Amino acid sequence: MTPAMRIRIEEPADRPAIHAIHASAFGGKAEAELVNRLRADGDLSLSLIACAEEPVGHIAFSPLILAGTPSVKACALAPLAVLPSFQNRGIGSALVEDGLQRLADAGMDLVLVLGDPDFYGDFGFRAESASALATPYNGPYLQTLFLSEKGREARGPVTYARAFAELT
Ligand SMILES: CC(C)(COP(=O)(O)OP(=O)(O)OC[C@H]1O[C@@H](n2cnc3c(N)ncnc32)[C@H](O)[C@@H]1OP(=O)(O)O)[C@@H](O)C(=O)NCCC(=O)NCCS
C-alpha cells in the first residue's frame, strides 16, 4: 500500500471498476457476477475498494445463517481480488485487515473464508475451527476466524447467501 492508496466503502460509480477487477484477477466473470448478484439481492453487507485514483482492489462480505446458533453473527469473505498489475504490494492484505476491523467494530462474531490457508492464515483464519461447521465448502480451504468469544459457539449447518448457489 502506498500512502496515496486508501480503502473505502464502494459507491455506485465504482461498480464497473469492481466488475473489471474481479474479471481481470480471476480470468473469468464468475466472481464479478457473484458480486453483482450479491448486491442485487441486498446481500453485499460490506463492500470495500482500495483505490488511488481508480479502484484497484475489492473485497466483499455477505451474511451467513447458522441454523444451530442463529444468534451468532456470521459472514462470508468472498470474493477478494486485486488487479494483476497491483498485486504483491500489500493491497489484498490491507483490504482483509480493514474489512475484519470494520466487522469486529460492528459486532460480528465469526467470518468464514474459502481460500489459500497460506494467505488467510496470516490474519488468524484456521481450517481446524471450520471443520465443526457443515457448509457446502468443507475441506482444507474452508477457514474460520472468530472475532468474539461467542463466535466459538457457532454450529451449522451454514447457509450462504443465495447468490453463491449460482456460482459456476
Ligand atoms: C489473492 C490476492 C487478492 C492477494 O492480493 P495482493 O494484493 O497481491 O496481496 P498482498 O500483496 O497483500 O500479499 C500478501 C501475501 O500473500 C501472498 N499471496 C498473494 N496471492 C496469493 C495467493 N493467491 N495464494 C497464496 N498467497 C498469496 C503474497 O505472496 C504475499 O506474501 P508475503 O507477504 O509473504 O510476501 C490477489 O493475488 C488476487 O487478486 N489474486 C487473484 C484472485 C484470487 O485468487 N483471489 C483470492 C480468492 S480467495
Q: How many CA atoms lie within 13 A of 70 on its CB side?
A: 1
Which residues, at least 6 apart from 94, have a Cβ–Cβ distance to it below 8 Å?
Answer: 1, 5, 7, 50
- Residue 157's SS3 state is coil
Q: What is residue 166's predicted lDDT score, i.e. its pLDDT? A: 84
Q: Which residues of the chain have pLDDT under 70?
A: 168
Q: What is residue 2's predicted lDDT score, i.e. its pLDDT? A: 77
117 lines ligand 1 (CB under 6 A): no
Report the separation in Å between the CA atom of 43 and the middle of ligand 1, taken as the mean of its atom positions.
25
82 lines ligand 1 (CB under 6 A): yes
What does the pLDDT look like over 36-85, one tens digit per residue? 999 999 999 999 999 988 999 999 999 999 999 999 999 999 999 999 99
Q: What is residue 91's predicted lDDT score, i.e. its pLDDT? A: 97
119 lines ligand 1 (CB under 6 A): yes
* Helix ranges (DSSP H) in the chain: 15-26, 30-40, 91-105, 117-120
Q: What is residue 132's predicted lDDT score, i.e. its pLDDT? A: 82
Report the separation in Å between the CA atom of 89 and the middle of ligand 1, taken as the mean of its atom positions.
9
Domains of the chain: 6-166 (3.40.630.30)
26 lines ligand 1 (CB under 6 A): yes
Distance CA 61, CA 94 (A): 15
**Which residue puts its alpha carbon closest to atom 4 of ligand 1?**
92
89 lines ligand 1 (CB under 6 A): yes
